[in-house]
Amino acid sequence: MIPNARIEEAAYTIMGKAAIEIPEDYRTGIRGMLEKEENELSRFVLMSMIDNWEAAEQDRRAMCADTGVPRYYVKVGNEARLDGGFIGLEHALRSATARATRDVPLRPNRVHPLSRQDNNNNVGINAPEIEYSFEPDADWIDVTTVHKGGLFGTDYRMLFPGDGIDGIKKFFLDVMVQFGRRGLACQPAIVGIGLGGSKDTAMVLGKQAACLRAVGDANPDPEIAKLEQELKDLGNSIGMGPMGFVGTSMVVDCHIEVGYTHTGGMPMSVHSFCLSSRRATARVHADGRIEYRTDPKWFTPYMRREGIEWCADAALHAAE
Amino acid sequence: MTLKSARLRLPVETSDLEPLEIGTVVYLDGIVYTGREGLYKKIDEGVMPPVDLASLGNANFHCSPAASVGDDGTYNLGAVTATASFRFSRFLPKFFEISKAKLILGKGGMSEQDYRDHFVPNGAIYLTTVGYGTGALLGRGIKRVRDVHWLKELGIAQAVWVLEVENFGPFLVESDLRGRSLFEQSNRETLDGIERVYAGLKFPALRRYGETVNRDDEVI
């Protein structure tokens, strides 16, 4: 039985960790880009960011004052039992958000979209968002928080099968350039792409691909992994770098997630997770133990439905 | 090539800004005050701030801090990061008139048109933050919160924070006194590469309403 109080503690802790500690995979990725970058202005930006992450960790202050719209991704083991139930869990996540907003502090970014009412705690209607997934043969829950801004760097487009890889590349470039100029996307970014599903699925998959996969991680499907590498290289060959200066540092990594889609369409989304790619995960075990990490491990084989009721026959007989 | 660097004492005189070329790295000492949608909109609606902005110095930062206010009224200020400035373009004439600002600090700059029309006549320049997430470095440069105005009316994120800063930066000179823009210069320098990566890619079957095909255009 997982104690609700431990979930609250874990959620509170990852709020601070995400805001202050840059994930090591991202830092390594940016250092690699700095080695290749030749433009003086672009190099200055990358070096300033590396200095900034060190300052954040030394001072225990947020690395970026735009602490985004803090939200949660929760993966629940099929065998996990929560002593407060899911309502208790959601209460704990709201409480942890409000406490961390005051204590870290985070910027209270969350306001009512029309009245602009600010509760000064990042909690409100549909805030923080909580998304769920499940995992077989596990009795833990993973709570991940992501702090992502979100005014720029994301776009959606309905493509059609006839648009092919050209259409994908062109839309990818559109987003890189339109938000890359002046560095509105705060690049170099982890670029996540959602392909397929319905419009909303494509948006959700792309966001998760950007925020919940570490730099260096490749899609297990070799064809998709090849496209990830191609798009990453394409983005870095534009001749544009950080802040839209001349350079080669646009895309730290590219992650693509797919979903089966309408036979007539190919919806696509592109999301840029910025120079302050903030994510942190806590695993709360059945005995209340908490383990912290920076790789959310969200896209498990089960999540991608690998080997699960693929063919029509198996799906038809699944109920028997 | 090595970047030039400068340190400015606030408030500045226009003559201090004379030698600053676009692309120069700048650090600041003195007083800056924050202001974004909340402040600009109120001024636009004819509601004057509770304090004479010109008395706060002449450096306005398009920013809001990650901060909290304790029960005893003390401020806990962590990081500070700029917000994108292009959104405030239409408020500039009135703002310059009442603030007498000489330095605008923010994210992403404004257009060369804005610089020519509003900054140059006021002897003002624009400094952009770097990255844009150097919130911890900028937070380090804040020595004290001198005052906060309109906290109750606008909330923590939109209030006018008056900050005493020391070695506050880094910033880059985005516009100079002649109204030239580092970003627009970069746009021109990157355009050939952009044309090259698009070469041969077909347009999708479904265009977007009003879609431009000119890659010289910006979306701001």
Residue numbers of chain A with a pLDDT score lower than 70? 309-312, 314-316, 318-320
Lookup: tokens for A105: 């502090």
Question: Judged by CB atoms within 8 Å, which residues 93-122 of A form the interface with B?
Answer: 101-109, 111, 118, 120
B110's CB contacts (< 8 A; 6+ apart) are B85, B86, B88, B89, B92, B104, B126, B175
Q: Summarize pLDDT for A10-45 with one digit per residue, the tens.
A: 999 999 999 999 999 999 999 999 999 999 999 999
Predicted pLDDT of residue A222: 97
Rounded Cα distance, A33 and A241, in Å: 10
Residues of A in contact with B136 (CB under 8 A): 52-53, 55-56, 59, 61-64
Predicted pLDDT of residue A94: 98
Work out the end-to-end distance of chain B between its first and last CA atoms, rounded to an integer number of angstroms.
Answer: 31
B5's CB contacts (< 8 A; 6+ apart) are B24, B25, B26, B27
Asked if the C-beta of A159 comes within 8 angstroms of chain B's C-beta atoms, the answer is yes
Rounded Cα distance, A132 and B50, in Å: 46
Predicted pLDDT of residue B77: 85
- The alpha carbon of residue A104 and the mean position of all alpha carbons in its chain are separated, in whole angstroms, by 21
Predicted pLDDT of residue A306: 82
Predicted pLDDT of residue B207: 84
Q: Summarize pLDDT for B44-81 with one digit per residue, the tens.
A: 999 999 999 999 999 999 988 888 888 888 898 888 88
Overall number of domains in chain B: 1
Domain carrying residue B27: 5-181
Within a domain: residue B126?
yes
Predicted pLDDT of residue A11: 98
Q: What is the ipTM of this complex?
A: 0.92
Predicted pLDDT of residue A114: 96
Predicted pLDDT of residue A315: 67
Q: What is the CATH number of the domain that holds B50?
A: 3.20.130.10
Lowest mean pLDDT among A206-215, A301-310, B7-16, B135-144: A301-310
Q: Summarize pLDDT for A271-305 with one digit per residue, the tens.
A: 999 999 999 999 999 999 999 999 999 999 999 98
Within a domain: residue B26?
yes
Indicate the residue of A62, A109, A182 with minimum beta-carbon distance to B157: A109
Phi-psi region of A211 (alpha: psi -120 to 50; beta: other; left: phi over 0): alpha
Within a domain: residue B220?
no
Predicted pLDDT of residue B99: 95
User: Are A202 and A156 spatial neighbours (Cβ–Cβ below 8 Å)?
Assistant: yes
Could you tell me the CA-to-CA distances from A137 to A3, A4, A80, A141, A318 in Å, in that order? 20, 21, 9, 12, 19
Q: Is the pLDDT of residue B97 over 80?
A: yes
Predicted pLDDT of residue A310: 64
Predicted pLDDT of residue B176: 97
User: Are A238 and A177 spatial neighbours (Cβ–Cβ below 8 Å)?
Assistant: yes
The answer to whether the CB atoms of A245 and B1 lie below 8 A apart is no
- Please give the order of strands across the beta sheet that includes A130-135: A130-135, A71-77, A141-147, A278-284, A290-293
Phi, psi of A82 (to 5 degrees): -105, 130
Q: Which of A289-298, B154-163, B208-217 has the highest mean pLDDT?
A: A289-298
Question: Judged by CB atoms within 8 Å, which residues 191-210 of A form the interface with B?
Answer: none
Predicted pLDDT of residue A311: 66
Helices then strands, counting H and E runs in chain A, come out as 8, 9
Percent of chain B residues topping a pLDDT of 70: 100
Rounded Cα distance, A228 and A302, in Å: 21
Indicate the residue of A44, A171, A184 with minimum beta-carbon distance to B108: A184
